[in-house]
Structure formats: C-alpha cells, structure tokens
Amino acid sequence: MSFQNPVFIPGPTNIPERLRKACDMPTIDHRSPLFGQILHPARAGVQAVLKSETAEVFIFPSTGTGGWETALTNTLSAGDGVLAARNGMFSHRWVDMCQRHGLAVEVVETPWGEGLPADRYEEILTADTEHRIKAVLATHNETATGVRSDIAAVRRALDKAGHPALLFVDGVSSIGSMDFRFDDWGVDVAVTGSQKGFMLPAGLAIVGFSPKAMEATRTGTLPRTFFDVHDMTRGYANSAYPYTPAVGLMNGLNEACRMLLDEGLENVFARHHRIAEGVRAAVRAWGLDLCAASPDVYSDTVSAIRTPEGFNATDIVTHAASKYGVAFGVGLGEVAGKVFRIGHLGSLTDVMTLSGIATAEMCMADLGLDVPLGSGVAAAQAYFRSHSAASVLKAA
C-alpha cells in the first residue's frame, strides 16, 4: 500500500501529522480524571467551531450516519412528520433513514445540482397548520453534487411560516471547513463526523443539540440506547461516558479544534474558498461545468465536475487510481457516471491541489477528452498566485 500522493476524495481527508499523533495514543483509564481533560475541551472546541454558545455537544464512536440517527431517535416518535428535500445522495439517505424509523417524510424532490428549496419549504410549513411536521432536514453541503445550501434561508422559511418544527442540519462536509452558524441560524441539531473538516480518521459522530432539541428529547419515543443523549449527558457530568469512548480520536478532535481555532475560523473558511476557487478556475479552463447549478451554491469543500455526454466520468476515477495512484470521488446515484468529484477540504495546500488538478488533466487526456495539458493547472496557478494567503513576499 502506498501513501505518497494526497487523496482528493471529499473525506476522509488527508490527516495532518499533528492529528495523526494526537489520535495515536496509548491506553488511558477512561474512568480516570485524565479522560475529562480530553472530553471537556473537545466538547468546548466543537461548540466554538459551531459558533454556538448553547449547543450541547455529543461525541459518539460512530460516523455522521450515526449522527443523523442521533438527531432523529432522540427527538421524534414513530409517525412524526418530517420535511426534507432530496437533492443528492446524502439527503436521499437521510430521508431513507427517516422512513426506516417510521417517520412520515414529506420529500421535496429537487434537481441534483440545486440547493435546498427554502421557498418550497416555506409553503409546505405554512400549509402545515396542525404542525404535523416535527422536524425539517437540511443538508448544508451535498457532498454528492458539490452544492452548498442556504441554511439561513431555511431558518427564515420556518420563521415566516411561524412553524415550531426542529431544524436538523447535516453539516458533515461543511462544519469546520465552511461557515456554519449554529446559533445565528437557529439550528436545533447539527451533525458531522470526524473525517471531514476536523481532518481526523472516521470514527466519531459529532452532534450539537440546541436547548429546544434537548427539550424534545423528553418526548421523543423512538427506541434508542447507543445513541441516547441522556446517557451521554449523565456521563459527561461525571467526566465519564456510558460505554467505552474512542479516547484517541477524541484527543484528536480536541487537537483539531485547537488547530482550527488557532488558525481562526474565518481564515480556515477563506483558505477553503481560495482552494475551491482554484479548482473551479481549472474546471472552467477545461471547458467543463460543475454539477452545482450556479455560483451561489458552489461548495468550497468538494467540486462535482460534469463530463461530456457519452463519457463515463467514473473512468477518470478508476484510471487516476490505477495509473497515477490518486483518489478522486465518483458520481453517486443520479449523477453516477456523469460527474467525478475533487474533494478539497481539510488539510490541503495550494500546492497539493495543483497536483490533483494536474492528475485530473492527465486522466482526461489519457481517456480521450479534449483537455489541453497544463490548462487547468495554469488557471489555478494564476488564481493561487494572486490570492495566496502569504502573497506578500515575506522573504524579500
């Protein structure tokens, strides 16, 4: 197995050396006070990354999918109404989970490539005068299509409709990389994992609950034990855990928060935007289109790139892996074969990004697409040169 090239999948990301070492921890007694020295700052760090002062943060040895289940099973009861849009594979899967748990989901089918339809949400919520809808699902960043949605707009839709439903936001591929405002946006449950913006290995579901969501946990009757937030709350109060915690990963999470907050969240977001713009400049230079329908929904963590009709975009991913040892993301679901994805989140530099762009170019050329070698690289270089954080020559 070779680990020389960076990965360009939309998570798990390249893991910074510092986090590799924070996770690789010898065993400590998780019932000793040492554990509290990891648990509490990790939770406080996540809260800060969420830009929240009130979110109750839960950390499960699980993944984002477990975070979704945490949101649903702690607050809802069988038969409860849920409003959701399906505009990509991950919003689709969350809807599917609702259905498996006996929730009555109203699904707004939305073209893959578009953002969440806040207007349509508003209409439906306004019409739901009996408040059968208990929760609204919103995928902040559709990893499958590279589409960022406007969560503030969803909040406004709820507010305009005067609707009390909880707002659940999937921030798996946005939190820690793109601006996320738990308090400002009135988010009730935010869900993410360790392997995206936090740059860690997969293995943690990281979930924030608003006070209103905590209130709802008193009435939700869906069965749950592993993902029960009350057990967590009771444990945390004693620096403990309801079962054996993933201590090393939590230590890594603590360190990851420190990295993000030390760099400054706005700097982190600006860095992701700069790198994403470089990738998008390359895509334009290639004469290709993004799956994302318009600039206002461009994701700063992943770009899904449409290939020409008749071309199987998945071949690029397979070819990059076999010939060049580089991992890109395939298209999923409705856009399978139609797009390939370049992940550009987590711990990535302009320089690493250029190697991904250069590889994509070689692959497209190898597979017969009319993409001039160096064209995308040059476009990204031009952008990076003039926007690099350290563009004033320090060493002059």
- Residues 89 to 118 in contact with its own copies, rule: CB under 8 A: 96-97, 100-102
Please give the size of the binding site for its own copies, defined by CB under 8 A. Answer: 107
Instruction: Name which of 59 and 124 has its Cβ closer to its own copies.
Output: 59
Contact call for residues 101 and 72 (beta carbons, < 8 A): yes
CA pair distance 372, 288, nearest whole angstrom: 12
Instruction: Name which of 209 and 383 has its Cβ closer to its own copies.
Output: 383
Residue from 69, 114, 188, 334 in contact with its own copies (CB under 8 A): 69
Instruction: Name which of 52 and 254 has its Cβ closer to its own copies.
Output: 254
Residue from 36, 37, 132, 153 in contact with its own copies (CB under 8 A): 37
Q: Which of residues 161-220 bind its own copies (CB under 8 A)?
A: 193, 195, 201-203
Shortest distance in whole angstroms from residue 20 CB to its own copies: 6
Q: Does 17 bind its own copies (CB under 8 A)?
A: yes
Residue from 107, 108, 153, 222 in contact with its own copies (CB under 8 A): 222
Token pair of 12 as six digits: 């798990």
Token pair of 81 as six digits: 């109404």
CA pair distance 69, 16, nearest whole angstrom: 29
CA pair distance 166, 181, nearest whole angstrom: 16
For every residue of 89-117, DSSP letters joined together read: HHHHHHHHHHHHTT-EEEEEE--BTB---
Q: Which of residues 332-371 bind its own copies (CB under 8 A)?
A: 347-352, 354-355, 358-359, 361-362, 365-366
Shortest distance in whole angstroms from residue 128 CB to its own copies: 24
CA pair distance 252, 347, nearest whole angstrom: 14
Q: Does 150 bind its own copies (CB under 8 A)?
A: no
Instruction: Name which of 82 and 125 has its Cβ closer to its own copies.
Output: 82
The span of 55-63, 132-140, 175-183, 302-310 binding its own copies (CB under 8 A) equals 55-63
The span of 50-58, 113-121, 157-165, 379-387 binding its own copies (CB under 8 A) equals 379-387
Instruction: Name which of 54 and 381 has its Cβ closer to its own copies.
Output: 381
Shortest distance in whole angstroms from residue 23 CB to its own copies: 7
Neighbours of 390 (CB within 10 A): 7
Instruction: Name which of 115 and 346 has its Cβ closer to its own copies.
Output: 346
Q: Does 3 bind its own copies (CB under 8 A)?
A: yes
CA pair distance 355, 17, nearest whole angstrom: 20
Shortest distance in whole angstroms from residue 387 CB to its own copies: 11
The span of 177-185, 210-218, 239-247, 289-297 binding its own copies (CB under 8 A) equals 239-247
Q: Does 249 bind its own copies (CB under 8 A)?
A: yes
Residue with tokens 């855990």: 241
Q: Does 239 bind its own copies (CB under 8 A)?
A: no
Angle between helices 247-263 and 265-285 (to 10 degrees): 80
Instruction: Name which of 209 and 227 has its Cβ closer to its own copies.
Output: 227
Q: Strand 329-330 relative to strand 339-343: parallel, antiparallel, unpaired?
A: antiparallel
Neighbours of 109 (CB within 10 A): 10
Q: Which of residues 294-333 bind its own copies (CB under 8 A)?
A: 315, 318-319, 321-327, 329-330
For every residue of 120-147, DSSP letters joined together read: HHHHHHHH-TT--EEEEEEESEETTTTE
Contact call for residues 213 and 72 (beta carbons, < 8 A): no
Instruction: Name which of 82 and 118 has its Cβ closer to its own copies.
Output: 82
Cα Rg of the chain, angstroms: 21
Alpha-carbon torsion, ordered 381, 382, 383, 389, to 10 deg: 70
Shortest distance in whole angstroms from residue 296 CB to its own copies: 28
Residue from 77, 233, 239, 388 in contact with its own copies (CB under 8 A): 388
User: If you count them, how many residues does the chain have?
Assistant: 396
Helix (H) or strand (E) holding 270: helix 265-285
Total H helices, total E strands in the chain: 13, 13
Q: In terms of Cα–Cα distance, which of 274, 281, 276, 283 is closest to 339?
A: 283
